[in-house]
Amino acid sequence: MNCAIKKTGNVKFLFAALAITGAIALLPLSASAQTVVAANTKTSATAASGTSSSENLRLMLDKIDLDLDTGKLDEAAGLIKKAKAKYPNNPEVLAAEADLNDRMSPQNGVAVSDVCLPNSLDPLNSDLLVRAEMKQNYACAGYNRRITTEAVEQIENLGGQVVLPYPGFSINADLENDHLNTKSEFTRANGKMLPFYGNRQQGTVTLNKNFSKDSIGSVSVYGIQNNAGAGVQYAMFDRWGGTSAEINFNKPDWDYVESIVEFGTKDNIKIQRRQVFTNDIQAILSGNYTHYSLHDDWSAADAPGWNFNLDWEHPFSFNSQGASSPSWSNNEITVGAHYGVEAQYFTYVGRRTDVDGDTFNPLPATSYEVHTFTGSLAKALLPNLNAQVNGGYGVNRIAGNSGPIYGGSITYTPWQRLGIDIHGSRDLLGGQNQGEKQDIVGTNVRFSW
């Protein structure tokens, strides 16, 4: 009896507890509980908003990168303006703006010549370690007059770069005409002594592909009269510079008067390293092996070689008017010191017999090792006018000849997309006639878009 009464009491207690719990659940939340719930809801909403904002920024940056890589600079500029308004002081947006400014900035005289000189006068123009820095569409036209002890040449060239509407792809072209007038007769490959007055042409078309921000490759097709050739390059970049490898077959060669007249070509392999030590100091070292051919002489010469350049440049301001004032008003001058070596050691030079029975070299090449020491000054004279001068001394260690070398350029940029430069220089060459001097004067025009 007592047990039954006890069981009944427990049941009643259980039902009473359940009723009280249900009533509490139905009561309105207290002020503190409401605050906790609201805070949790707000935190969740903020997190979701932050995730959405981050995704939108990433999509916008990806679209900017795509526009930059496909040459749509105006579209990229519009997106960057919107991104700066929506995400002020965001480092990724500011980095994209700096990249755009670098691609669209007016170039000084050195940069115009770096991309607009014909390949026959400046082979570095075709090097990926140099050309990879030019990421915009541009067209070039130029006229250069080259004078040596053997001939007077007038070289006209057209070229440029077009960024294709496919990420990472671009095309470069270089078309040249050399109007050559030799100062005297010379022995042709057929053994006859004849002068030359006429024209020779060559052309190069190159397809480039950026595989990533750290690597780029290219395939080139060469043409010279009725001869064709091809070449491939690959370059890798790192935080200290870049390394490139290059192989060419039947590449047009205008290093010698004989090779210009006789439709000369060369097969070569080249490995090059560009090392950046500081913002002011960098060096380029390359090694190569070259096989030279003429139209009627496939085996004209063979030579291993190497090149080296060490450059220091630093801007000095003698009348600073504040960090925001332009360089031309601060009397800012960029001072440079440069050391260079260009060398080839011919292991074989072909011989033939002329019409008189005398032995001669169809390609009169001799080994050389030219060392040059120069200083340079560059200054923005006006907001759209830049000037540069350089001078020094060169020595051919093997041949023993030496002499002063010098040059200068003036670049006028009437508006951001147009650059015009006038330049002149004297260089010390090696390889023929035991080394000789070369004088070049010319002008280049470049339009970017």
The winner for highest mean pLDDT among 15-29, 285-299, 328-342 is 285-299
Confidence of residue 16 (pLDDT cuts 50, 70, 90): very low
Residue 283 structure tokens? 């060096």
According to DSSP, the β-strands at 332-344 and 368-382 are: antiparallel
Residue 96 CA to residue 65 CA, distance in Å, equals: 8
Q: What is the residue extent of each domain of the chain?
A: 2-102, 105-448
Task: Give the pLDDT confidence of 355-409 residue by residue, as tens digits.
Answer: 888 888 888 889 999 999 999 999 988 888 889 999 999 999 988 888 899 999 9
pLDDT at 303: 96
Q: Is domain 105-448 in CATH 2.40.160, yes or no?
A: yes
The winner for highest mean pLDDT among 94-98, 170-174, 213-217 is 170-174
pLDDT at 38: 46
- Among 110-114, 139-143, 147-151, 345-349, the least confident range: 110-114
> Which of 30 and 253 is assigned the larger pLDDT?
253
Residue 420 CA to residue 412 CA, distance in Å, equals: 5
Contact yes or no for 363/258 (Cβ under 8 A): yes
pLDDT for 17 beyond 80? no
Task: Give the pLDDT confidence of 26-60 residue by residue, as tens digits.
Answer: 444 444 444 444 445 445 545 555 567 788 888 88
Q: Taking the model in full, what pTM does it have? A: 0.73
DSSP string, 30-65: PHHHHHHHHHHHHHHHHHHHHHHHHHHHHHHHHHHH
| Residue type, position 83, single letter | A
Integer angstrom CA distances of residue 58 from 64, 245, 339: 10, 35, 45
CA nearest neighbour of 384 among 138, 110, 74, 109: 109
Integer angstrom CA distances of residue 154 from 30, 140, 302, 332, 415: 93, 17, 28, 36, 29
Percent of the chain past pLDDT 70, that is, above it, reads 80
pLDDT at 133: 66
pLDDT at 422: 92
Residue 308 CA to residue 325 CA, distance in Å, equals: 37
The arithmetic mean of pLDDT across residues 137-152, rounded, is 92
pLDDT at 104: 57
Task: Give the pLDDT confidence of 399-442 residue by residue, as tens digits.
Answer: 888 889 999 999 898 887 888 999 999 987 766 654 578 899 99
pLDDT at 159: 92
pLDDT at 30: 46
Percent of the chain past pLDDT 90, that is, above it, reads 43
Residue 72 CA to residue 170 CA, distance in Å, equals: 13
CA nearest neighbour of 191 among 359, 366, 364, 349: 359
* CA-based radius of gyration for the chain: 34
pLDDT at 35: 47
pLDDT at 114: 64
CA nearest neighbour of 267 among 239, 243, 293, 286: 293
According to DSSP, the β-strands at 402-415 and 151-163 are: unpaired
| Residue type, position 106, single letter | P
- Which residues does 335 contact at the CB level (< 8 Å), separation at least 6? 313, 314, 315, 316, 375, 376, 377
Task: Give the pLDDT confidence of 62-84 residue by residue, as tens digits.
Answer: 888 777 766 677 778 888 888 88
Residue 269 CA to residue 233 CA, distance in Å, equals: 10
pLDDT for 4 beyond 70? no
